[in-house]
Amino acid sequence: MSARNILVINCGSSSIKFALVNEAQATFPLQGLAERLGSPEAVLHWQLGDEKQSLEIPGAAHLAALEQLLPLAQEAAGGKIDGIGHRVVHGGEHFTGSCLITDEVLAAIRANAQLAPLHNPANLIGIDAAFALFAELPQVAVFDTAFHQTMPEHAYRYAVPEFLYKEHNVRRYGFHGTSHHFVSKRAAEMTNLPVEDSCWLTAHLGNGCSTCAVVNGESRDTSMGMTPLEGLVMGTRSGDVDPNLHSYLHRTLGWSLEQIDRMLNHDSGLKGLSGLSNDMRTLYEARISGHPGAMLAFEVFCYRLAKSLAGMACALPKLDGLIFTGGIGENSSAVRSRTLEHLKLFNFKLDEQANARCTRGVGGEIQAAGSPRVLVVPTNEERQIALDTLALLDV
Ligand SMILES: Nc1ncnc2c1ncn2[C@@H]1O[C@H](COP(=O)(O)OP(=O)(O)O)[C@@H](O)[C@H]1O
Ligand SMILES: CC(=O)OP(=O)(O)O
Ligand SMILES: [Mg+2]
Q: What is the pLDDT along the chain (395 residues), one digit of tens a residue?
A: 678 888 888 887 667 777 888 887 655 545 455 555 554 444 444 444 333 222 233 445 677 777 777 887 788 778 889 999 999 999 999 899 999 999 999 999 998 888 888 789 889 989 998 998 889 999 999 999 999 999 999 999 999 999 999 999 999 999 999 999 999 999 999 999 999 999 999 999 998 999 999 999 999 999 999 999 999 999 999 999 999 999 999 999 999 999 999 999 999 999 999 999 999 999 999 999 999 999 999 999 999 999 999 999 999 999 999 999 999 999 999 999 999 999 999 999 999 999 999 998 899 999 999 999 999 999 988 888 988 999 999 77
Q: How far is the CA of 327 from the centre of ligand 2 (A)?
A: 12
Give nearest CA residue, ligand 2 atom 4: 208
Give nearest CA residue, ligand 2 atom 8: 208
Strands (DSSP E) contained in 218-280 are 218-222
Determine the pLDDT at residue 216.
98
Of all atoms in ligand 2, which is nearest to the CA of residue 237? 3
Q: How far is the CA of 286 from the centre of ligand 2 (A)?
A: 25
Q: How far is the CA of 207 from the centre of ligand 3 (A)?
A: 6
CB of 23 closer than 8 Å to CB of 3 = yes
ipTM above threshold 0.95: yes
Q: Is the CB of residue 89 below 6 angstroms from any atom belonging to ligand 2? A: yes
Determine the pLDDT at residue 90.
95
Strands (DSSP E) contained in 163-248 are 199-205, 209-215, 218-222
Rounded to an integer, what is the distance from CA 161 to the centroid of its chain? 30
Q: How far is the CA of 176 from the centre of ligand 3 (A)?
A: 7
CB of 367 closer than 8 Å to CB of 314 = no
What are the extents of the domains in the chain? 5-143, 192-381
Determine the pLDDT at residue 51.
30
The whole-angstrom separation of Cα 185 and Cα 105 is 27
C-alpha distances in Å from residue 183, one per residue of 42, 147, 343: 19, 12, 21
Q: Is the CB of residue 144 below 6 angstroms from any atom belonging to ligand 2? A: yes
The whole-angstrom separation of Cα 227 and Cα 92 is 10
Determine the pLDDT at residue 33.
53
Of all atoms in ligand 1, which is nearest to the CA of residue 15? 22
192-381: CATH, from 3.30.420.40, 3.40.50.300, 3.60.15.10, 3.20.20.140: 3.30.420.40
Domains 5-143 and 192-381 share a fold: yes
Determine the pLDDT at residue 28.
52
Strand, coil or helix: 300: helix
Ligand nearest to the CA of 298: 1
The whole-angstrom separation of Cα 27 and Cα 361 is 14
Give nearest CA residue, ligand 2 atom 2: 208
How far apart are the two ends of the chain, measured CA to CA in Å?
16
Residues with Cβ within 8 Å of residue 300, at least 6 apart in sequence: 233, 273
Residues with CB under 5 A from ligand 3 (ion): 206
pTM value?
A: 0.92
Q: Where are the alpha helices (DSSP H) in the chain?
A: 31-36, 59-76, 103-111, 120-133, 153-156, 162-166, 177-190, 245-253, 257-266, 269-274, 280-288, 292-312, 326-331, 333-341, 352-357, 381-394
**Active-site residue numbers?**
144
Annotation: binding site for Mg(2+): 10, 381
5-143: CATH, from 3.30.420.40, 3.20.20.140, 1.10.357.10, 2.40.128.20: 3.30.420.40
Give nearest CA residue, ligand 2 atom 6: 208
